[in-house]
Amino acid sequence: MNAPESGLILDAVDRQIIRATQAGLPLVPQPYHAVAAQLGLAAGEVMARIERMQAAGIIRRIGLVPNHYALGYSANGMTVWDVADDRAEAMGEQVGRLAFVSHCYLRPRHLPAWPYNLFAMVHGRSRQEVAGKVAVIAALLGDACHGHDVLYSSRILKKTGLRLTD
């Protein structure tokens, strides 16, 4: 296991809590008590550990996770860009700042099949809407970009999120 970025080392009890809640919280008036009862812990301890994990960023947020498609965001475009290496960092920062870009990463190329190093996810209610946003990114990148593509998702094959297995 790597050194965690957060500086918080998870112990066996934290991991039990993660396993008990990663698929969701029980939908009962006292969900943290229900988790505690299931694990043989005190409710106060479960809540304190969850708050600690939240403060450390191990828990990004607690709440509901909407299904994009059910909410009408049916066009899900992974836009990929071949950006000059010496400008990729700066351009990535700028693309990441666009309001409609939900995720933006630099990733390795796999030449010759895959020349793209900048990935930006764009969601819209139609492909036309996504295409308009792609044009905005293309204009921003200008001559730093040597080519791009948009990969639309056509089916969700799996969506479960993180699962600890041990």
Partner 1 sequence: MAAEKIPTPTLPINGEGDNPLPRGRGRLGGGAVDDLDETDRRIINALQGGFPVCERPFQQAAETLGLDEQTLIERIEHLLAQKVLSRFGPLYNADRMGGRNVLAAMAVPEDRYEAVAEAVNALPEIAHNYRREHALNMWFVAASDSDATLEAAFRRIEQETGLPVYRFPKEREFFVELKLTV
Residues 110-129 that bind partner 1 (CB under 8 A): 110, 113-114, 119, 121, 123, 125-128
Of 64 and 139, which has the nearer Cβ to partner 1? 64
The residues in 33-62 that bind partner 1, with binding defined as CB under 8 A, are 33, 43, 47, 50-51, 53-54, 56-62
Site string for partner 1, 64-103 (x = CB under 8 A): xxxxxxxxxxxxx-x----------x--xx-xxx-xxxxx
Q: How far is the CB of 143 from partner 1 (least distance, A)?
A: 20
CA distance 49 to 63: 17
> What's the Rg (C-alpha) of the chain?
20
Look at residue 67 and give its three-state secondary structure: coil
Give helix 127-141 / helix 85-97 axis angle, nearest 10°.
130
> Long-range contact list for 41-45, CB < 8 A, 24+ apart?
41/13, 41/16, 41/17, 45/13
Please pick, from the candidates 42, 107, 132, 138, the single residue that binds partner 1 as defined by CB under 8 A: 107
Nearer to partner 1, 3 or 139 (CB): 3
* Amino acid (1-letter code) at residue 21: T
Shortest distance in whole angstroms from residue 79 CB to partner 1: 12
Question: Tokens representing 90?
Answer: 């700066």
Q: Per CB under 8 A, does 135 bind partner 1?
A: no
Minimum distance of partner 1 from residue 37's CB (angstroms): 14
Residues contacting partner 1: total by CB under 8 A: 91
> Are the C-beta atoms of 77 and 127 separated by less than 8 Å?
yes
Backbone angles phi, psi at 2, to 5 degrees: -75, 165
Counting contacts by CB under 8 A, is residue 1 touching partner 1?
Answer: yes
